[in-house]
Amino acid sequence: MTGAATVPIPPRFETQRLVMRRWTDDDLAPFAAMNADPQVMRFFPAPLDRAGSEALVARIEAQFDQLGYGLWALELRETGEFIGFTGLLLQTFPAHFTPAVEVGWRLAQAAWGRGLATEAARQALEVGFGAGELDEIVSMTAWSNGPSRRVMRRLGMTHDPADDFDHPRVPERHPLRPHVLYRIGRPPSA
């Protein structure tokens, strides 16, 4: 099932080190700075400019309104600093596994290497399998995105090479077009 949550999902969660919440206008500047960082965006065809970054937040917020879950803005509990997003995104582009709900993440460089993406993603999976009532959650990335694939493995997601696909939104012959798909099923306890 990839529909709207049938029970209300709180707009804000806390994990051990993070706040996961809906977006505010104060996030727009640090989010744009992060999306303009070529290192953060090295597995995407191009960085995003400020307008593209704001349009993405608008799309993210629209999905929250529609489904009750989405890509939560992440804030460090200790400092209140915005560090990126992690959450659930409904993917409807044409592919053998869509429509599907994807767990995804993008963090500013200063927040890498501390287990924060995995911590947030575990919470996102819990919401997706709990209130979201999803039977399966996927994750996808460019074949060469080792850091992201390590997060997927840490979450217990599995990769079947038969699921590999060319992302239709990446230009043909672009080196980032070949993608891997990881999957995780609803745990028996959820």
Ligand X SMILES: CC(C)(COP(=O)(O)OP(=O)(O)OC[C@H]1O[C@@H](n2cnc3c(N)ncnc32)[C@H](O)[C@@H]1OP(=O)(O)O)[C@@H](O)C(=O)NCCC(=O)NCCS
Residue ranges that bind ligand X, judged by CB under 6 A: 40, 43, 104-107, 112-118, 141, 145, 147-148, 150-151, 154
Q: Which string of DSSP letters, residue by residue, matches 89-156?
A: EEE-SSSTT-SEEEEEEEE-GGGTTSSHHHHHHHHHHHHHHTTT--SEEEEEEETT-HHHHHHHHHTT
CB of 107 to ligand X, least distance (A): 4
Number of residue whose CB is nearest ligand X:
115
* 111/131 with CB nearer ligand X: 111
Tokens of 110: 């200063």
CB of 6 to ligand X, least distance (A): 28
* Crossing angle for the helix pair 28-35 and 50-67, to the nearest 10 degrees: 120
Tokens of 10: 């709180």
* 133/167 with CB nearer ligand X: 167
* 119/133 with CB nearer ligand X: 119
CB of 141 to ligand X, least distance (A): 4
| Residue 122 buriedness (CB in 10 A; 0-12 / 13-18 / 19+) | middle
CB of 140 to ligand X, least distance (A): 7
* 32/40 with CB nearer ligand X: 40
